Amino acid sequence: MAKKKRQGHYCRICGEYKANEKFSGKGHAQHICKACMSKKNKGIEIDSEIPVVDEDYDDELFGDMEYDMFNPDIDIMPPAEPEHKRYDKLNKEEKAALKELWAEIVIRYWEDERLIPFGEPYSKIKKELLAIFAEHGEIALKDDNNLKVFLHDTMIVTINKVLKRNASI
């Protein structure tokens, strides 16, 4: 006997089958109904994705897994998602930190290669800069035209300073 196919879609948040009209375009792909998506966007906590643990769990399956809150090797907080910003929206301190970090990376590349980064090497060190800035500054920069202009100008000024310093020695 064949299982009857349900109409509509399943919402993975509320666990209900709902009509197609109850899902938005993104909701169809994510399996989240409009009501749950609205709650999610408003920041209302939804307890759907928390796994249910049976109190009568089997010791053989889980072994001696115990949570030790004093163990420094256990990371209990998930890593924070860096805030996405355009270069124009950075404050003075963030721009200064970005400039200093970029200058260090360019100087290191210049000392290693004695070349101005262009093409693929430029892309590599720019990706390195964005990754480091996202990790330490907790800001994921959008790679827009203003950022490209800033990085290019700073790179040229930095290399010129290194050349002048080396010429005076």
Q: Residues for the chain: how many in total?
A: 169
Instruction: Output the pLDDT for position 54.
Output: 44
Helix ranges, the chain (H): 25-30, 34-42, 59-62, 92-113, 120-136, 145-168
Q: Tell me: the pLDDT tens digits for 125-135? A: 999 999 988 88
CA dist., res. 114 & res. 126, Å (int): 17
Residue 3 CA, chain-centre distance (Å), reads 42
The mean pLDDT value for 29-58 works out to 65
User: What is the domain partition of the chain in residue ranges?
Assistant: 7-39, 81-165
Strands 17-18 and 9-10: antiparallel
Residue 4 has pLDDT above 70, yes or no: no
Can you give the pLDDT at residue 15?
79
DSSP string, 71-118: -TT---SPPPPPEEE-GGG--HHHHHHHHHHHHHHHHHHHHHH-S---
pLDDT in tens, 7-18: 777 887 887 888
Q: What are phi and psi of 48, to 5 degrees?
A: -90, -35
Q: What is the pLDDT of residue 72?
A: 60
Instruction: Phi first, then psi: give them for residue 33, nearest 5 degrees.
Output: -75, 165
